[in-house]
Amino acid sequence: MKLLTSVLPRASRVLPAGCWFTLVIVGCLAGLEVAGRAATSDIHDGLAGFALLAIGASIAARHRRQPLSWVRAIVGWGRRMAGSASWFQFDHGVDLRGSPPLPRRTPRVVWLTVLALLLWGVAAGIAWAAFPSGWRAIGTQTWYVLYLMALLVLWAALVGCIFVGLCVPVAVIGRWLKGWVGDTDRRGAELAAVVGYAVLVSTIAFSVSPVWVLGACLVVAVGAWVACLPKGADGPALLWRAGPGRPVYAVPLHRVLGLVAGLTALLVFDVLLSASGGRLSGPPAEEGMPVTALLGALAAWFIPGLLVYAFCRLVAARRNDPSRRSRPVVHVSGGDLAGRRRAARTLSGWGWRAIIAPALREPGTVGVELVPAEQSEATEFDPRWPLRVSEADLAVGEVRGRLERRDEIQLRRQFFRGLAKLFRRASAFKGPGGGGFWLAPHWWFIEGLGREDADESEDATSPPMVGPPYSRAFPPRARQHAHRVLRATQVDMMFVEDGVGYRKVEKVLRVLLELYDVHGGQRRAEELHFRGLPKVRVMIHEYEPGNPFQSEQYPEPKFDDLSRVRVLHVFRDRSAHEELVEPPFDFSWTPAPVGMFS
């Protein structure tokens, strides 16, 4: 070792700085090329790949200690290429207004990505058809180092699929176990679930061809493309432009989700086909890539679990979507069974879902009790609930409006109870420099009450979401009613400043509800409707490109410059908008000085 340390400084003095290291690297790469010609399977390729990683790590360490000119040249070339590909970068935002409509167009890079993935799949299929024992023969006969890089990237993608495919179902099982056994120690059950799921997938991977999984990926890609076809009129959209001063285009959000799902399915299909294409029709007689095929089979059979999880999330998102409309529920009691059934048929014709006693009445359900006509309270000013009605009242439809109003009142009570729970949790989280919360329970893609300064906060005092998600804080129909009211009054989001408590926010929302009731959802909210509310200042601003919110007295929420959103801000009243005016002074009653004469 002493001899080696004494010789290296002499060599560094003879050669220019960095030349001896560069020669060693070139020699190692040349050795890999020569050794690759003698490799017979990807087991040897894996060893060579680890050697290539070691070479790359040594280059990075050497360049950090003593910069290499050729490494700087490669890095500079890469930066220039990235700068020349500025068309790949876009300014983006969200459009919750939709009016006036913007031209709809999907970025060109999306279609180029689709074309590249299709070409990748075709090339992988042709390679496996030409080389049934493995397409590594192409790399060993042309450029072995480049083949090693591609193989390492493929292995990393397969390991990533296995990791995600194992962790996601296990996390779901962990949440189920937490709901079943509570806070008790469940590490043994989680370990058994992990091992059991891994053994099950491994058994299937060794005995069943992955052709079914590849077919499922293609089905998902086609289904995602079909989901992109509907245009949609009133949904949110994603805004984008190629750069400052360029035209702004919109892509409906359902189309964005469909494109992401389709591209992901195509990418997974290409990765699995590249890894296990030789096993689609059964194990080949001679296999030159056993490690790649094994990883591909394992990754393929972890995909069905992810598909089931994604389908369940999609169903849950649809079920909790506030834009959908669920039928109101009414509980019918009293009278005989035949009368209750007749009343249920009448109420079903009104669009209600009727539950007949002796079934229990669910919380938040409107109640109706059948009584004789002389005991009916259908026309009383302040009746008791469940409302006592007769079959004749239901036949003429006198109580239909009263039931609908009662349903709205109960939905609003449920909404305010959930909002109170959220703000009790939110009161403990305040930013060090001020800030506030974004409140938007009427959008399905916004999960919960979020901090406005969560992106810039490095500590745990400003989490991105505060309290339980909206889907647990509010019943589904309460969120649907909030969606109907806020969309009718054209309030896309609400910003609540720190220090504004729940009671003040409740008063603001009750003004919106009154505006909705009085005008039948035909008038949008304006600042003048909130004048007179004590200790709060309500300001409404329409965010759009080139029109950010600016104020000298009130904090400016951080928002994307390209977004189009009508936001209702609820600030603490600073009384800065009121000017102090001195009362006028009447000089007519001022006594004039009396002259003194000598």
| Sheet strand arrangement including 465-466 | 465-466, 449-451, 436-439, 493-497, 565-572, 536-543
Assess if residue 300 is contained within a domain. Answer: yes
Distance CA 498, CA 427 (A): 8
Distance CA 291, CA 46 (A): 9
Q: Are 155 and 273 members of one domain?
A: yes
Give the end of a domain, one of 43, 62, 84. 84
Q: Are 428 and 560 members of one domain?
A: yes
Assess if residue 595 is contained within a domain. Answer: no
Assess if residue 135 is contained within a domain. Answer: yes
Secondary structure element (H or E) that encloses residue 437, with its range: strand 436-439
Q: Are 350 and 235 members of one domain?
A: no
182 DSSP assignment: T
Strand, helix or coil for residue 397? coil
pLDDT at 80: 81
Give the end of a domain, one of 300, 319, 338. 319
- Pairing label, strands 387-389, 565-572: unpaired
pLDDT at 415: 94
- Pairing label, strands 237-241, 249-252: antiparallel
Q: Are 199 and 132 members of one domain?
A: yes
pLDDT at 460: 45
> The domain containing residue 72 runs over which residues?
17-84
**Which residue, 306, 313, 307, 301, is CA-closest to 168?**
306
What pLDDT digit, counting tens, does each position of 258-309 carry?
Answer: 999 999 999 999 999 999 887 777 666 567 788 888 899 999 999 998 999 8
Buried residues in 270-304 as b, exposed as e (16+ CB within 10 A): bbbbbbbbbbbeeeeeebbbebbbbbbbbbbbbbb
Assess if residue 103 is contained within a domain. Answer: yes
pLDDT at 185: 65
Assess if residue 522 is contained within a domain. Answer: yes
Strand, helix or coil for residue 177? helix
Residue type, position 126, single letter: I
Q: Rg for the chain (alpha carbons), in Å?
A: 34
Q: Are 52 and 128 members of one domain?
A: no
pTM over 0.75: yes
Q: Which sign, positive or negative, has the C-alpha torsion 514, 520, 525, 527? A: negative
Q: Are 239 and 127 members of one domain?
A: yes
328 DSSP assignment: P
| Phi and psi at residue 568, to the nearest 5° | -100, 115
Angle subtended at Cα 63 by Cα 57 and Cα 66, rounded to the nearest 5 degrees: 140
Q: Are 370 and 432 members of one domain?
A: no
Q: Are 315 and 333 members of one domain?
A: no
Q: Are 98 and 247 members of one domain?
A: yes
Assess if residue 492 is contained within a domain. Answer: yes
Q: Are 308 and 336 members of one domain?
A: no
Assess if residue 593 is contained within a domain. Answer: no
529 contact partners, CB below 8 Å, separation of at least 6: 511, 515
Assess if residue 429 is contained within a domain. Answer: yes
What pLDDT digit, counting tens, does each position of 229-258 carry?
Answer: 776 656 788 888 887 778 888 898 889 999
Q: Which residues of the chain have pLDDT under 50?
A: 1-17, 457-462, 577-590, 592-598
Q: Are 183 and 73 members of one domain?
A: no
- Cβ distance 55 to 28 under 8 Å? yes
**Total domains, the chain:** 4
**Which residue, 278, 310, 312, 313, is CA-closest to 294?**
278
Q: Are 454 and 381 members of one domain?
A: no
509 contact partners, CB below 8 Å, separation of at least 6: 416, 419
